[in-house]
Amino acid sequence: MGYYKSSEPKKKRSGYFASSFTGLIAGAVLVGVVIPEFADVNVSAENQPRTVETASGVQSVSDIVTTDVTEIVEATSAAVVGVTNMKTAQQNPFVPAANSEAKEAGTGSGVIYKKDNGSAYIVTNNHVVEGAEKVKVTLADETELDAEVLGTDVWTDLAVLKVDGDSISTVAEFGDSSVLKAGEPVIAIGNPLGLQFSGSVTTGVISGTERLVPIDINGDGTEDWQAEVLQTDAAINPGNSGGALINSQGQVIGINSMKIAQDAVEGIGLAIPINTAVPIIEDLEKEGEVERPAIGISIMDLAGIPKQYWNTELSLPANVTEGVVVSEVAPGSGADKAGIQAYDVIVEMDGEPVNSVLELRQHLYNETKIGETLNVKVYRGGELVEAEIELTESL
């Protein structure tokens, strides 16, 4: 996953400072009522309003206000850390290699979810640590720790890190993202724009659940996957990636991942549901990778092949206009053993039509398991052929 950007520059607005300052004053007057979702506001007995008189005789009232939000942030924010991707800059031929050092190439956020045997475990986004030569974690008290990348998964955009746990005391609690409702209040904690704004807090609501967002994994301009995400209007900015989306119980119900940033779009932040993330996190922590079923073929969309080849090389009937073309079969794979051949056109899997590579991949990853048998129908030489493929592990 990434960060959707608009290429159009935003126009500067005159009077911004004045209007912002006025808004700040108004916000100070209205404190305690600006977030109705978290309505409880408490002033403890020991923190009753007190009057302070300055040397010039001006009096001011000092209140210490505690709300549901402040209590949740106080309890959970230390479990959200900064994650820094370190890379060595392109080598200068006139500078000895021994003098080159890894430098900051990008920053994001992470969530401490577990402590065990003296170590702490952190979940973040794959795109935060992708390509890193070294990863550093910065705690809420600015302590820096070297992190080991235990595993990454490009399909879900998740990664798991391991650090020394001696200086870590706060661990996040995971909630249940399957029971979320639109309109439910949430808090986002992370490090927008890097560690300069570490521990930033924004609030909002769940705008929608089970949203599908197209993902281009390899950057070729073709949709490779559709990620199921939570939509929120809580502000999520670059650097928030990998941070926590928290419910009103102080539980992590999403891992912040991206934002749709266009001039015509406002307040659309996206997070990976924690119920989707947990099995991936477990695989990455234990195995360093996610075990997924594989057929053993290289494929392409029929729609991407010039139509003059549909009748010649593929020998397709005129009524077949969608499907997945097998370009190569791995020797010894389940597909090879089942008799699948190059130029076969897959049109059905387990009784469901397959119109594209995306649909095939989603069925394979979401509906099947390693060791199961996949029933497929393919067109070969103009004839519809059925085959049973035993699914093996794909890493």
Give me the residue spans of the domains in the chain.
81-89+104-164, 177-287, 292-394
Structurally, at CATH architecture level, domain 177-287 sits in Beta Barrel (2.40)
Q: Which residues are catalytic?
A: 127, 157, 241
CATH code for the structural domain at 292-394 = 2.30.42.10
Q: What is the DSSP string of 274-288?
A: HHHHHHHHHHHHHHS
If we measure between CA atoms, which residue out of 358, 299, 350, 361 comes closest to residue 324?
Answer: 299
pLDDT tens sequence for the chain (395 residues)? 543 333 344 444 344 333 333 333 333 333 333 344 555 555 444 455 565 565 666 666 656 777 888 999 999 999 999 999 998 876 666 665 555 677 878 889 999 999 999 999 999 999 999 999 999 999 999 999 999 999 999 999 999 999 999 999 999 999 999 999 999 999 999 987 666 667 789 999 999 998 988 888 887 777 888 888 999 999 887 788 899 999 999 999 999 987 554 455 556 889 999 999 999 999 999 999 998 999 999 999 999 999 999 999 999 999 999 999 999 999 999 999 999 999 999 999 999 999 999 999 999 998 999 999 999 999 999 999 999 999 998 74
Supply the pTM of this predicted model. 0.76
pLDDT of 224 reads 82
| CATH code linked to domain 81-89+104-164 | 2.40.10.10
Q: How is residue 289 written in tokens?
A: 């990778």
Residue 312's Cβ-count burial label (10 Å; 0-12, 13-18, 19+) is exposed
Q: Does the fold of domain 292-394 match that of domain 81-89+104-164? A: no
What's the DSSP call for residue 331? T
The pLDDT assigned to 1 comes to 52
Q: What is the per-residue pLDDT for 102?
A: 78
